[in-house]
Structure 1
Amino acid sequence: MNKLNKVTLTAATCGLDLGDGSERAEYVNQDYILNTLGRPHRNIGIMYTYYPKDKEWPERISVACKDMEIHFQWDYPYDDYFPYRGGIDGDTTGQPFEQMRDIRRHGQDVALTLTIDCSLEDQYLRQIAKDLKPFGRMRLRINHECGGDWFTHNQRFSYQEVGDFFVRFAKIVKEEAPQISVVFCGSAVGDISVEDAPVQFEKEFKEAFATADIWSNDCYLALHYGWPFDVCEKGGNSYAMTPVDEFFERLRKTSKRITKVNGGICKPMVISEFNTDGDVTGPLHQGESIKRFVEKLKSENADWFDGFSMYQFRDRGRLGLEIEDPNNASVGIPQPILKDYKDILKDPFFLPGLNEAEEVTLPATLRWGSAEDAEGIAIPIKFEKTPEFCEVTFEEELNLMLELNGRWFYKAPGTKTVDMMSAFFETPIEPGAELSLKIFAPPASGENDPAQGEDWAVNYYTTITKMPELRIRYEEVQEVL
């Protein structure tokens, strides 16, 4: 326990993100998700809306218009996401900021989807960018699925106006918080049998594609899009399913076509909402097509593809790793797909790099840049065999993410001891195995600190001065009699 090595956290070959809360479910705290899945994600996606000039604002629209007769999820005056409570005369102590802090202190980056009134003046947009600046290298997805006709931005504004607004907002974000990546979720190619087919509204969206840092598409292998207003039954007309090969080919050709439209410059492509709807396949078969898609990604060496976001952790329908208990919204019911997804999380193709380098001494400064760029310390440990007890205790009140034997743990500033035995529950070790306890330090408040220097918006620094204490025991205290 006297030796320390520097360890760097780097990007996976393909990123894994996770949706957490939307019109279909409430937000689930990151402690629960981490303990359930065993490792953090690159980005956690949350979904908000901002229509501050509407008379119903800032109520959530389904609450403000609870007596309104609707026949489709997006029939309300504005989108039924959680209201973004920042902005001009706003309050950053509430939501989505508390959720963003929760996400970042657990070693993940924020992916904020924001549907927003395209008529807002620049000062509204500039204040939002200022609100978001302390949250590091987050992603901001502005007015997603903008090639459709269901969201309020497409019902109030033309496709050209939606594209122009994205460009205007993105440029303001880059002026105020250049470390934020802006995501454009436009449209895809239609007929994939036609070589070099155009994407829908590519003329209207050309400048948006050029301005964005990341291109996105929301697409599902199967989706019951009539939810929750009908029951999905065989022969119905409110669901769709796409074969895996066709699904992949549309993504590939969409990236290729947008790259051509963008003067040959290819930007990372993500799927910001992805799943197979258990309403269509049934929960027992939900994960099958997702696993085939993963194998397709790996075999095709799709270097243009940056990652996908599982939509979502918990859902009131069957688009979640858990279903929300109808009797208690705070309780999740795990679905069979949860096991399939945990297998994907462990696949080396989706694992971030953890690379040990030169030896270091205490005190040591740990740098947190993002879920794909951080520097920590690693403590080599030789285990006689799989332990019966494995705990680590810290004297200092630090905010830490710990990794051991492929399992990640969170230590809040007020927590002294972390029980790490779950690192061995599913993955026992061979006698004499040498492992490293890896330690990283995301910001304890969830926000970067302007007092830390010129690079404060992109990096956060923590100094650790004392070695933690390990309690490793290879026998039970008392045998079962």
Structure 2
Amino acid sequence: MVNKISKVMLRPAKCGLDLGDGSERAEYVDQDYILQTLGRPHRNINIMYTYYPKDKEWPQRISEACKDMEIHFQWDYPYDDYFPYEGGIGEDTSGQPFEQIRDIRRHGQDVTLTLTIDCSLSDEYLRKIARDLRNFGRMRLRINHECDGDWFTHNQRFSYQEIGDFFVRFSKIIKEEAPNILTVFCAGAVMDLDAEELKVGHEEEFTEAYRQADIWSMDCYLALHYGWPFDVCEKGSDSYAVTPVETFYQRLKKSAIRFAQLNDGKVRPLVVSEFNTDGDVVGPKHQAESIKRFIARLKEGHAEEWFGGFSLYQFRDRGRLGLEIEDPNNKSVGIPQPLLKEYKEILKDDYFMPRMETKAETKLPVTMRWGGAEDAEGIALEVTLEKNPEFFEINFEENLNLMIEINGHWFYKAEGTDCIDLMPAFFDQDIKERTTLSITMFAPPASGENDPSQGEDWMENYYCTMHKLPELRIRYEAIEEV
């Protein structure tokens, strides 16, 4: 049934599309569920953690350690109410965030680890974190984000200069210990769009951080109820903010210009690490409208020349910043929002679709290389279908970890799984006539970690060899009609 086998390259989309998964507002949702819900993987999954190992409450999550504390704002606790980072000096990489990182990577996605961290920690602590993370390929580390503000613990305990200096120090250690990791600096933005000279907040204190970072970032929402969950968002209240789409776009563009000026004209990718329109403000039925207008503005402005993508915050949320709302009766259950249906259409937009380049025909055995969600080498099996199938299954003898794409739909095959039902790729897109399709496969690491024994480039790349072609079971009629 397979006409030929070709090598195929996975390359970046015009604009990256990332997703937040878990924060102070929600629990982590496993990647099997997200993939089944959305139909394709993201470039990056952003997870959010905190590390204050010298505090007396550590390593408890601070909202649990201080559950009787009277607070009036989400960040009133002694340290940030993210999940505790369990590695570092504690040397435990069996727990979190490492299991989540492994889950994300084995599903063909890269990781952004957002980490709020005590700026007084010595180099010993920071080197241990770098060594914790270097097995996980081309991940991103976002250190003490939104540091131009005043709400996080790092801003309450340290000066802006100390925060900037800490970022530079930590970034240099990352480069020494784990050069596969890119550091992300997330601070302010150009707020006065009409000023003759562009400025961003605390740029004197942060100039060296902008120069040291691999990626520049902003957290921006078209609408945000920032008083959640301590008040109800109502018209005229002072706990929400709205930014018109054009203002939002110009703020991004002019901030990118100013960041480059601070970096002696050298451009870095600019991303929005947290982005959405809050349903608390606009209502859940209208949440997607401004997001789609923003995307149209990106395309119109050819933003792919200076913009590196955005991360939707987030998959599941206890408020109205998610594709799903967490069921208040059962936190393991999500309630789909209207945005979910609209977002699935955004995922299919060519602007956000990773490019696949088909290369020369090949034969088995073939070695596949996983660099990351924007750089991988896999294989494509060319198959001719007579018409829309009633059954389409792929069966493997080899114990491989694979991401599989056919007809625009992605599937995950874990180690230990022999058969994958590919029929969901044809539920919404019928084939009306004889058609040739490709079954494309990539092999991210089954353990979620790269293998130091694979060669000098092991931090950047993981290799897997397929020796035997999988078998296809394709049928065009029901076994029996009832």
Cα offset for 1:2? 5.2
Q: Which residue of 2 aligns with 1:77?
A: 78
Q: How far apart are the structure 2 equivalents of 1:181 and 1:426?
A: 38
The reply to whether residue 195 of structure 1 matches residue 232 of structure 2 is no
Q: How far apart are the structure 1 equivalents of 2:467 and 2:441?
A: 13
Higher mean alpha-carbon deviation, 19-28 vs 418-427, is at: 418-427
Q: How far apart are the structure 1 equivalents of 2:176 and 2:323?
A: 38
* Pairs within 5 Å for 1:8-157: 8-157=9-158
Cα offset for 1:89? 2.6
Q: Deviations over 1:147-206 (max 9, x none)?
A: 000000000000000000000000000000111010000110121122332001111100
Q: Which residue of 1 aligns with 2:479?
A: 477
Q: How far apart are the structure 1 equivalents of 2:256 and 2:432?
A: 45
Q: How far apart are the structure 2 equivalents of 1:314 and 1:78?
A: 23
Cα offset for 1:429? 2.4
Q: How far apart are the structure 2 equivalents of 1:214 and 1:143?
A: 14
Q: Which residue of 2 aligns with 1:433?
A: 435
Q: Which residue of 2 aligns with 1:392?
A: 394
Q: How far apart are the structure 2 equivalents of 1:278 and 1:288?
A: 11
What SS does the corresponding residue of 2:55 show, helix, strand or coil?
A: coil
Residue 196 of structure 1 contacts residue 257 of structure 1 at CA under 8 Å; is this kept in 2?
Answer: no
Of residues 446, 449, 471, the one that matches 1:447 is 449
Q: Which residue of 2 aligns with 1:272?
A: 273
Q: How far apart are the structure 1 equivalents of 2:221 and 2:91?
A: 35
Q: Deviations over 1:423-445 (max 9, x none)?
A: 01122223111110001000000
Which aligned runs of 4 or more in structure 1 are off by greater than 6 angstroms? none
Q: How far apart are the structure 2 equivalents of 1:253 and 1:12?
A: 23
The reply to whether residue 464 of structure 1 matches residue 466 of structure 2 is yes
* Pairs within 5 Å for 1:49-448: 49-302=50-303, 303-448=305-450
Q: Which amino acid aligns with 1:471?
A: R
What SS does the corresponding residue of 1:288 show, helix, strand or coil?
A: helix
Q: Deviations over 1:80-129 (max 9, x none)?
A: 00000000133000000000000000000010000000000000000000
Cα offset for 1:76? 0.2
What is the aligned-residue RMSD (CA, Å)?
0.7
Q: How far apart are the structure 2 equivalents of 1:426 and 1:332?
A: 23
Q: Which amino acid aligns with 1:80?
A: D
Q: Which amino acid aligns with 1:162?
A: I
What SS does the corresponding residue of 1:148 show, helix, strand or coil?
A: coil
What SS does the corresponding residue of 1:199 show, helix, strand or coil?
A: coil
Cα offset for 1:385? 1.3
Q: How far apart are the structure 2 equivalents of 1:85 and 1:26?
A: 16
Residue 394 of structure 2 contacts residue 422 of structure 2 at CA under 8 Å; is this kept in 1?
Answer: yes
Q: Deviations over 1:247-293 (max 9, x none)?
A: 00001011111111211111100000000000000000000000000
Task: Calculate the TM-score normalised by the size of structure 1.
Answer: 0.99
Alignment: residue pair count: 480
Q: How far apart are the structure 1 equivalents of 2:377 and 2:259?
A: 35
What SS does the corresponding residue of 1:3 show, helix, strand or coil?
A: strand
Identity %: 71
Residue 184 of structure 1 contacts residue 209 of structure 1 at CA under 8 Å; is this kept in 2?
Answer: yes
Q: Which amino acid aligns with 2:296?
A: E
Q: Which amino acid aligns with 2:206?
A: F
Q: How far apart are the structure 1 equivalents of 2:252 and 2:469?
A: 48
Q: How far apart are the structure 2 equivalents of 1:426 and 1:40?
A: 18
Q: Deviations over 1:282-329 (max 9, x none)?
A: 000000000000111111101110000000000000000000000000
Q: Which amino acid aligns with 2:228?
A: W
Q: Which amino acid aligns with 2:418?
A: K
